[in-house]
Amino acid sequence: MTYRASDARYDAMQYRRSGKSGLKLPVVSLGLWQNFGGTRDYDSAFEILGYAFDQGITHFDLANNYGPPPGSSEELFGQVLARDFRPYRDEIIVSTKAGYNMWPGPYGEFGSKKYLIASLDQSLRRMGLDYVDIFYSHRYDPETPLEETMGALAQAVKQGKALYVGISSYPEEETRRAHAILKDMGVPLTIHQPSYSILNRWIETDATIEACGELGIGIIAFSPLTQGVLSGKYSSGSRAHTRAENEKGSMRESHLQPHVLEAVERLRPIAEERGQSLVQLALSWVLRRPEMTSALIGVRNLDQLKDNLGVLKNLSLSESEVGAIDEAVKDALIDLHPRPTGWLR
């Protein structure tokens, strides 16, 4: 059966401008990090992707290394574009990134022009696209001149391979430098993608969020649920059927310490008082600040997606609610400030 998007797809979603650009993103965007790789069949993937688009999620976030295995998320999304989303390409924002290890040798990761341009070309082939809407430097490279990394992003725009460019996990100082370098090249820095959640506030303590607001750079937060911890699903101590079940996975043990899980449970009555799930409370908190353009979610199934989208019913937080959240988690904050080598995504 040929997919036909819902006529009501724009009725409920809210959209925010990315900084001072003309680009608007849905307040909830869908990331394809770990759940849309080689282990996912087409039908179950499209059940989620099609429903997301029908609900107004127009932004799908990828990277060269998303899978598993690396590259497979882009391949699967390329199939979706070709088979079902092709008539709607001009309504869809596709983003991808390069920065983490993709192939052997000295040119397969970090921030050199050699790597970034080659990776973008590979991503375009995997997705069957002539251009992506957003291309990111996935992490700051302390050993490559920032002028070279930003030059590669600018080249992608000038060659028509990307409409907008962004950075991910760049600290405040490097964010300001990246913005200035790109400005001199005539290419605006449109968006920053840092980790940010109730438990992980490094962009506040580092002043990156203020820098983005000042410079007119939009922000899209990844891991707004701290890799699912803020959903409350780990409170029972069980890790079955979660990303924490795999010892080699991306979940950090620091996320699952008793004092962290206890803090999450202290948030539950605040969410219930608002008529929200913990997931919805966490997303409301991330989106409360005017600098925030979007929250980037990752889901394994349709029920999780529907829970996330429930945040649209109540996005506002009062000062007293923000204060109560701060008090509940004050002893459980997790420092994920990016280091020079970045952290695995």
**Per-residue pLDDT tens over the stretch 196-208:** 999 999 999 999 9
Q: Is 13 helix (H, G, I), strand (E, B) or coil?
A: coil
Q: Give the CA distances from residue 232 to residues 13, 255, 265, 321, in Å, rounded to whole numbers and listed in that order.
A: 25, 12, 7, 19
Give the rounded percent of residues in the chain with a pLDDT score beyond 70: 93
Mean pLDDT, all residues of the chain: 94
For residue 236, pLDDT over 70 is answered with no
Mean pLDDT on 245-273: 82
Q: State yes or no: pLDDT of 327 exceeds 70.
A: yes
What's the rounded mean pLDDT across residues 220-247? 77
Q: Report yes or no on 322 lying in a domain.
A: no
Looking at residue 336, its pLDDT comes to 82
**Among residues of the chain, what percentage have pLDDT more than 90?**
89
The closest of 195, 326, 187, 341 to 266, measured between CA atoms, is 326
Give the total residue count for the chain. 345
**Does position 239 have pLDDT exceeding 70, yes or no?**
no
- CB atoms under 10 Å from CB of 286, counted, come to 23
How many domains are contained in the chain?
1
Inside any domain, residue 343: no
Taking CA atoms, 74 is separated from 83, 114, 269, in Å, by 14, 20, 39
Is residue 247 pLDDT above 50, yes or no?
Answer: no
Q: Above 70 in pLDDT, residue 290?
A: yes
Tokens of 90: 């001009």
Average pLDDT for 5-12: 98
pLDDT of residue 345: 40
Assess if residue 188 is contained within a domain. Answer: yes
Burial class from Cβ neighbours inside 10 Å (0-12, 13-18, 19+) for residue 216 reads middle
Q: What is d(CA 298, CA 189) in angstroms, rounded to the nearest whole number? A: 25
Q: Is 60 exceeded by the pLDDT of residue 317?
A: yes
Is residue 36 in some structural domain? Answer: yes
State which residues form the domain around 284: 18-231+279-315
State the pLDDT at residue 157. Answer: 98
Which CATH number characterizes residue 90's domain? 3.20.20.100
What does the pLDDT read at residue 332? Answer: 96
Give the mean model confidence (pLDDT) for residues 281-300.
98
Average pLDDT over residues 73-97: 98
Beta strands in the chain (DSSP E): 15-17, 24-26, 28-31, 59-61, 93-98, 132-137, 162-168, 189-193, 218-222, 292-297
Distance between CA 16 and CA 26 in Å, rounded? 6
The confidence score (pLDDT) of residue 252 equals: 62
Query: What is the enclosing helix (H) or strand (E) of 280?
Result: helix 278-286
In a domain, 140, yes or no: yes
Residue 337 binned pLDDT confidence (cut-offs 50, 70, 90): confident
Report whether 271 contacts 263 (CB < 8 A): no
Q: CA gyration radius for the chain? A: 19
Considering the domain boundaries, does residue 330 fall inside one?
no
User: Is 103 inside a domain boundary?
Assistant: yes
Mean pLDDT of 243-253: 54
3-class SS string, 71-139: CHHHHHHHHHHHHHHHHHHHHCEEEEEECCCCCCCCCCCCCCHHHHHHHHHHHHHHHCCCCEEEEEECC
Handedness of CA 337, 342, 344, 345 (dihedral sign): positive
Residue 238 counted as domain residue: no
3-class DSSP assignment, residue 61: strand
